[in-house]
Chain A
Amino acid sequence: MSAKQDQQCLIRLENIYKQYEMAGETFNALDGVSVTVNKGDFMAIVGPSGSGKSTLMNVLGCLDRPTSGTYYLDGAEVQKLRDNKLAQIRNYKIGFIFQQYHLLPKLRVIDNVELPLVYRGMSARERRERCREALEKVGLGDKLHHLPSQLSGGQQQRVAIARALAGRPPLLLADEPTGALDSKTSREVIALLKELNEAGNTIVLITHDPSVAAQAKRVVRISDGRLTEERNEAS
């Protein structure tokens, strides 16, 4: 791979395996996955449940280590890093958007959004500024002091997106972001993600919903732990 390509490339998975022991048998959740995601991509990973989708998401999100293979994220090899180092990678490089939003119910919106920055050790003033900015980007600049329970599902997911944006990570990782939302709100959230992608954010989205995947620039399908390219507008 040339240096120019290397600069453009954000994620490079090479021959990733993830094995589980189940009832004495070895089971390949990821069976030799290789994929490259360039900066500015909007890639959807589709597949039925049990296809290895979640495992791939965990590996991509540095929440789990592959059994073998190499994972380059933003130019650094991460598959062998220790827990603390991985925590730091998650903090600086990845913004998570979960299906169940995963907001802390007892914290106000702004306190939820600033959590990644708190673990970065950022000063309170800078945190507030960044959070306000991120919340305005998702259209919730007026809900700073609400509790998550006072917001609708769509609004909560937008808070989660703001939280993912607050750290300005190179990668946004969305795991079924519309899975808990009605179709109208889903469309709004996907529109927001598209908008963010157009503004330069790299997004990897995991979904089983074809209509959601249709909005991505690129779609890969996973089944039985293997990836196949389905559509790539860029190429």
Chain B
Amino acid sequence: MKLSQGVKMAWHSVYSQKLRTLLTILGIMIGIASVTVMVAIGNGTAEQVKSQMQGLGTNLLTANVVGRGAVTSITLEDAEKIADIDGVSAYAPVISGSVTVKYGTTTYSASVLATTPSFAEVREYSVAQGRFIKEIDGAFAQKVAVIGSEVAEELGMSNPVGEKITLDGVPYKVVGVLASKGSSTTGSNDNIVIVPIQTARVVLKTDAIRTLYVQAESEKRVDFVQTMLEFHLQTFFRGDEDSYTVFNQADLLKTITEVSTSMSTMLTYVAAISLLVGGIGIMNMMLVSVTERTREIGIRKSLGAKQRDILFQFLVEAAIIGGLGGVIGVLVGAGGSSFAGKWMNSPVAPSVDIMVIAVAFSMGVGVLFGFLPARRASKLDPVEALRH
């Protein structure tokens, strides 16, 4: 018998039992669909987090200072010493706090970051209008501010550069507006006001530096810079390692990748279990089908069907049932993913690889679990079978 004829015959049998086929493939279908949806959501989230992290720059190190005893922070001069490492391209100490911004009669609450001009480079901000803060602003403790795009919008400033605003009652002159960066896991990047670090005492009532951003020249130097940075901090805090923490973007990225990998491993197990359950369903249905079709098998054998013709026909039927479950499951999953994405407002990234693998495996499961019934059919004695 020719291959195409066998497939056609098998398709005919599967098609003529629509309801039963549908019920049989339901298990595989649901399993494949749910895995497709979960993988899409998982991938989407991981990709989003990754792109945000990359937005921060993978060369960036963040040192947070908690302090020890009387020394709970560092000064501008300390920061300069601590960041004096080979391979550092820029560093920016930050004093942060929350203030009420007022423009005319409009008030708005925003975070203030008192920092140095290199902050823009380190955190990869660019200016949409006007200019960023400059060394000279700091040197003369000028009360100038660069505002985030969201702040400008919330205050209703159509042309902010040159306008006066007050930060907790202290008047500042807006010299620039930042280009929008969107939001990340740590909140909005556009809801900030940047002022020279020398004016921190005026607005934030403190000049204690708790955050120090350090940018390495290249990704290769990140590890070296991190080691040196930790060494300098350790020296500064006289060996107390609890006084500071240093974050490395690359490490964080790695952690996220690990989490998403272990999640996909888990999903693979879920898929495997649902395929196993579905496979048992196929085997059950095929066994019933062989019993019901004993006479048909007898007729086919009397007309000259060989054992392998019958085996092949039933195996192909099982493969079609399995594959159909996979295909419908993937389609439902793809639909479900985009629905879930809209509903939960989270990004989804359906994985084509997973879909192809899912369909292939479903067919494989069909063949595997269809083998026993198909073999039983092929071994039937034609005389006995015809008597049915």
Contacts and interface: CB of A to CB of B under 8 A. Distances in A.
A87 B301 contact: yes
A115 B302 contact: no
Contacts of A92: 304
A27 B308 CA distance: 33
A121 B300 contact: no
Interface in A71-103: 83-84, 87-88, 90-92, 96, 98, 102-103
Query: Which of B5, B296, B304 has the largest count of A CB atoms less than 10 A from its CB?
Result: B304
A96 B2 CA distance: 23
Nearest to A169: B304
A119 B309 contact: yes
Given A84-B307, A121-B2, A58 B296 contact: no
Contact of A87 (B299, B306, B383): B306
Nearest to B382: A63
B12 interface: yes
Given A63-B383, A63-B386, A115 B303 contact: yes
A163 interface: yes
Contact of A90 (B16, B295, B302, B308): B302
Given A102-B295, A121-B2, A116 B386 contact: no
B304 A102 contact: no
Interface in B253-311: 295-296, 298-309
B60 to A, nearest CB: 68
A228 B199 CA distance: 126
A151 interface: no
A153 to B, nearest CB: 17
Contacts of A191: none
Nearest to B300: A115
B304 A119 contact: yes
Given A102-B295, A106-B12, A119 B305 contact: yes
Chain B facing A: main interface SS: helix
A1 to B, nearest CB: 29
Contacts of B16: 106
A64 B380 CA distance: 12
A90 B300 CA distance: 11
Nearest to A58: B383
Contacts of B70: none
Contact of A119 (B1, B13, B298): B1
Interface residues of A, number: 26
Given A104-B299, A115-B300, A121-B1, A87 B386 contact: no
Contacts of A146: none
A163 B298 CA distance: 15
Nearest to B303: A116
Contact of B307 (A83, A98, A115, A118): A83
B303 A119 contact: yes
Contacts of B299: 102-104
Contacts of B298: 102
A163 B9 CA distance: 17
A61 interface: yes
A125 B13 CA distance: 23
Contacts of A90: 301-304
A120 interface: yes
Contact of B303 (A58, A64, A163): A163
Given A90-B303, A91-B303, A118 B1 contact: yes
Interface in B1-40: 1-2, 5, 9, 12-13, 16
A84 B1 CA distance: 13
B383 A64 contact: yes
Contacts of A63: 301-302, 382-383, 386
A64 B304 CA distance: 13
Given A63-B386, A106-B12, A120 B302 contact: no
Contacts of A107: 12
Nearest to A121: B2
A120 B12 CA distance: 19
B1 A96 contact: no
Given A118-B1, A121-B1, A121-B2, A102 B305 contact: no
Contacts of B296: 104
Nearest to A123: B2
Contact of A88 (B300, B306, B382, B386): B306
Nearest to B385: A63
18 contacts: A63-B382, A84-B307, A84-B308, A87-B307, A90-B301, A90-B303, A91-B303, A92-B304, A98-B386, A102-B295, A102-B302, A103-B299, A118-B9, A119-B1, A119-B300, A119-B303, A119-B309, A120-B304
Closest CB pairs A-B (n = 3): A91-B304, A119-B304, A87-B306
Interface of A: 58, 61, 63-64, 83-84, 87-88, 90-92, 96, 98, 102-104, 106-107, 115-116, 118-121, 163, 167
